[in-house]
Structure 1
């Protein structure tokens, strides 16, 4: 069961390209000349280049807290390995969960102390909700 889930992107982003193409086609209807095939190709092309972006963001930027683990992208940290999530200072050079060098853009860092006394940086758009979910999952 997911106690906290933050997707990196939504699949609805795939509809933006075809929606743009539809608007372009409708605008052409008012000018008298329409290029329906061209607008279909544009819509499909935009959707095709958006799909890998959405897939990558969902794979590498999804944050999830389950009953037994914290998932940061593809990295899994068992909850029993987490010692503390509040009042933890982030030392310089702390490892970022998920495999990146830094926290992703538009995400905030949450320092977490592990049971081996190392500090790692978790990240989320809503750090307080992540902290609460981790605290609740550890005590349950």
Structure 2
């Protein structure tokens, strides 16, 4: 098994708790004001958790960045580290391909131009580009 040098999840499963927590707060607010709708608040909490689960799954699948001792994973795409020749001072040409299968760098992520062994430049992305650069450099 490969050693993980860098890991950045697209989302955490703790976000599933937001809906039920909202429902508990709503129920407690109703307790203070008088009449309570227990079944309705249970359904609201479960409903919010159910619609949050696919969102978390998608973010974890398509926005996870991982660097192991052998590969760089960007969403659905992997690049062997042996193909990466340069990560420092690489200019990003217009129209450079974005790793992970998207048309552009995901929102709220910074891009890191990477030169491959066939002299093409691709755009890697992460929220912490410096940590990604360090992991790719092997230092």
Q: Which runs of 4+ in 1 moved over 2 A?
A: none
The normalised TM-score by structure 1 is: 0.97
Deviations 1:84-126 (A, max 9, x none): 0000000000000000000000000000000000000000000
Partner of 1:12: 14
Q: Give unmatched runs, 5+ long, in structure 1.
A: none
Once residues 113 and 85 of structure 2 are traced to their aligned partners in structure 1, the CA distance between those partners, rounded to angstroms, is 11
Q: Does 1:85 align with 2:65?
A: no
Number of residue pairs matched? 137
> Matched residue of 2:108: which SS?
coil
1: CA distance, partners of 2:52 / 2:107 = 19
Which residue matches 1:76? 78
Q: Distance in 1 between matches of 2:138 and 2:79?
A: 16
Name the SS of the counterpart of 1:129 in structure 2. helix
Match of 2:123 in 1: 121
Instruction: Quote the Cα distance in structure 1 between the aligned partners of 2:36 and 2:96.
Output: 57
Q: CA RMSD in A?
A: 0.7
